[in-house]
Each structure stands twice: as C-alpha cells, then as structure tokens.
Amino acid sequence: MVRYITAIRVLLMLIIVLVSSVYLPDFFWKANKHENKKINVFYSPILKDFVFIKADVRQTYYADSKGKYYTRDEFEPLLPFLNFRQLMLAGKLPDVIDGVPIRPKEVSLNNINMRVQPAIIQYKPLQLFPLFESASGRLRLELPPDFFRIRSRMEFITSITNEINEEKSSLFTAALVKEGFSFPAKAIYGNPSTKKPFDEGYFVIDDKGKVFHIKMVKGRPFCKDTGIPADLDIVYMVTTENELREFYALAVTKKNEVFIVSYDKYSLIQIPVEEYDYKENTLLIKGDLFYRVITVNQENGYHSIVTNRKYQIISRTGESWSGSEATNAGIIASCLFPFTVQIEKDTTPYIDFYVQYSDFRALFASNIALLFAMYYFRKKRIPIRQAALYCTVVILTGVYGLIALLTVKDFDDDPGKS
C-alpha cells in the first residue's frame, strides 16, 4: 500500500513538472520580452551593393552596407525594380540602367519573390487535390468538379456525390503506368489556386523517388517522367506559375540543397545557399531584371548572396547577433530552468512536446532546490530512504520538482493507519 501511494505521488510530481516546464518559462519570457531583429536584404543596381530595410517596434530604417542611412524617398530610387510603380508616379524611374532600357512591363515580369518556411515544408496537407484544365481557352482557371489522390492508382472523386469517376481515374492511371510511375505517391506538390495566370499541374514523387509532372490538357492526361534523380531525396517543392516561364519549381533536398527545375527539359540548376537548414531556417529568393538575392534567415542572424541571372555568385553579406539567451533574462532563465518544454514552435505546424535543455548553469538552481527539499524532509522527519526518490526528482528537474514537492505534500501520512 505504501509503495502504491509513493508511486502515485511520484506520478503526480512528474505531471506537475511537465506542466510547470511548459508554462513557467512561457510566463517568464512574456514578462521579459526579447525583441528580434527584422532585416530585409536587397541588392541595388544603382549602388552595386547590398542595401537593407531594418525594422523594430519604434520605426523602419533604410541603410546601405557602409552604414549610411536614408530617408524613404532617398532609398526607393536605389531599388528601381522593386519600387518602379512609385518611381513612375513620382517621375523618377530611370529610362536606362547599365545600358538596358527600363520598360515597366519587363520589370514587372522579371520581379520574383519566393519564400520557403520550415513550417510549410513539414506541413502535410489533405491528400486531395484539384486538377485544373491547363488548356481550357478561358481567361481564368476554374475549379474542377472533382479532386484526385494517388494511392494504389490515381483516383478522381466527385466532390458533390463523393463518387469515384472511374473513367477519368482509369485514363490517368493508365497514362502514369505507361510512363513508369510506381504507386503510391510519396508526395504531391502543386499550387491549387485559381488566382494564378496559368496552370502547370503537379510534380509528384512516386514510391521509388522518381519525380513526375502531371497535368490535364484538353481533358487528356499529360504525364512525364522529369528525369530528376531519385537519390536527390527531395523533401519539398515550391511550384510557381509565372509569366516569366523561367522555372517550374524550387526543390529542397534532405541535404539542405536547393535546386531550380527549369523549363529546359526539367534540368536542375543548383542555387548556392549558405548555412541553410530547411528544418529551422527561412529561405527567401528575390529576383529582378539583373539579379537574384538569396537570403537564409536564421534565429540570430542571416546569410545573403547575390547572383546574376545564371546564379553565379557576385557578392555576399551576413550578420549575426546575440539571441535571447545572451540577455540578462536569458542568463537567469538558464540558471533557473534546467529545461523547457514547448507545445508549439514557429518552425512546425504540429503540436508536440519540444524539449530544449539548458546548460551546466541550471545545476545552480537544482542544487538549491535539492537543499531546500532535504531541509523540508528533515523538518517533516521523513526517513532518508523514503525521501530519496522525491529528492531524485527534484535534483533532475530543479525548480519544477521543488514546486511539485511542495504541491504533493503530507509525506508523513501513513496510509496504513486510520
């Protein structure tokens, strides 16, 4: 009976430890907020150098790499491709830059902006996708009456009746089999939106890792083995339908490599990213008539490179700064909390228990908690053998264990006596 009661008390303590490790650090950081830097990196075709837009809770700053600050009106002409509409309105858009005539339509066509966030990579959507008609002859794309999935075959399910369109399913399945597709599909990547200018369908990774391009043209299946190597280990693809028609998609691999799938027979162009971790970092790609700026945003810094249109590196820049752990509040938190548990993280869309351990400084608070626990048991005249298990919980969990100890009290009660 005594052992049974002891086990229940330890279990209650562990539950209190878990709850405390979630909410105590959260309350602590809400009371000691750390302001993260926000920096947007650009490359000026006028200065031939990097320029920055920096923001905090007070205002927005405009600066170049030499530390010179600008007003907004002074800064916008340095990025004529980004701000061409405003410059046209003000009559300040240059006619020629580096011998190239500046035409607003060409500028707009060549401006690209892509963002790859870790939460998007790890997100797994419902495996039902609309397959648009890519050659409808209509001005705008229209949603089809059915949605497809690829399991043991490619199936089209009518959304209103929930019935399988057998004729269409058989037609597309046969086309995939003919092309060498191995069922089921591991991943399906596309842009299921009617707001895009045209449709390029989906890129589908089959069971063997091969990448196929699937779309519907005049009611008939278009299925193509892209020839992208299966051992590339693609974890995510960003498909983009852009009038520029320079590339179909952006592919991210398990090795943190980034490739562009070009319109030239699906050939791959590797993008030179630096210190990129797709599970933790955000990747930004900004493009214009002359350059491509590729930025990896990390928690405590960034790395940027600028390339020409052939993705050959022209220049690079970067910065790192102290995170919240280097502040006074961070030092106190490291000493106070041996570990923290987060239920939600910015880098993933899923709820889970994400544990982050502190360093050796947490032993300071853990030892104080242990001494207090020993004093507490001595005052209660609890035998050392009985108190040892509870003290072990306290030394391992620090302040959380001490809170649990003081919550689960009456250790001197003997359940064998009335």
Which whole number is the average pLDDT over 218-243? 94
Q: Are the C-beta atoms of 249 and 203 separated by less than 8 Å?
A: yes
Mean pLDDT check: name the lowest of 107-111, 202-206, 409-413: 409-413
- 305 within a domain of the structure (yes/no): no
Which whole number is the average pLDDT over 36-54? 92
Same domain, 142 and 237: yes
- 341 within a domain of the structure (yes/no): yes
pLDDT digits 0-9 by tens, 326-358: 778 888 888 899 999 999 888 888 888 999 998
Same domain, 235 and 337: no
Higher per-residue confidence, 108 vs 388: 108
Which whole number is the average pLDDT over 253-280? 94
Same domain, 18 and 150: no
Same domain, 209 and 170: yes
pLDDT digits 0-9 by tens, 159-180: 999 999 999 999 999 999 999 9
- 413 within a domain of the structure (yes/no): no
Mean pLDDT (the chain, rounded): 90
pLDDT digits 0-9 by tens, 285-308: 999 999 999 999 998 899 999 999
pLDDT digits 0-9 by tens, 56-74: 777 899 999 999 999 999 9
- 302 within a domain of the structure (yes/no): no
Q: Are the C-beta atoms of 301 and 38 separated by less than 8 Å?
A: no
pLDDT value for 217: 95
DSSP code, position 402? H
Same domain, 102 and 224: no
pLDDT digits 0-9 by tens, 179-188: 999 999 999 9
pLDDT digits 0-9 by tens, 238-252: 999 999 999 999 999
Quote the Cα angle for 337-342-348, to 5°.
145
Give yes or no for residue 418 having a pLDDT over 60: no
pLDDT value for 317: 95
Same domain, 165 and 262: yes
Give yes or no for residue 412 having a pLDDT over 60: no
Among 70, 87, 109, residue at a domain's last position = 109
Instruction: Point out which residues pair with 282 in neighbouring strands.
Output: 297
Among 109, 135, 169, residue at a domain's last position = 109
- 266 within a domain of the structure (yes/no): yes
Same domain, 191 and 257: yes
pLDDT value for 2: 56
Same domain, 160 and 43: no
pLDDT value for 138: 85
Q: Are the C-beta atoms of 344 and 337 separated by less than 8 Å?
A: no
pLDDT value for 385: 75
pLDDT value for 389: 83
Which whole number is the average pLDDT over 119-146? 91
Full residue range of the structural domain in which residue 84 is found = 38-109
Same domain, 270 and 159: yes
pLDDT value for 416: 44
Among 223, 251, 285, residue at a domain's last position = 285
Give yes or no for residue 315 having a pLDDT over 80: yes
Quote the Cα angle for 179-183-189, to 5°.
80
- 323 within a domain of the structure (yes/no): no
Q: Are the C-beta atoms of 212 and 181 separated by less than 8 Å?
A: yes
- 241 within a domain of the structure (yes/no): yes
Domain count, the chain: 3
Same domain, 58 and 191: no
- 158 within a domain of the structure (yes/no): yes
Give yes or no for residue 414 having a pLDDT over 70: no
Same domain, 212 and 275: yes
pLDDT digits 0-9 by tens, 394-403: 999 999 999 9
What is the 3-state secondary structure of 303-337?
EEEEECCCCCEEEEEEEECCCHHHCHHHHHHHHHC
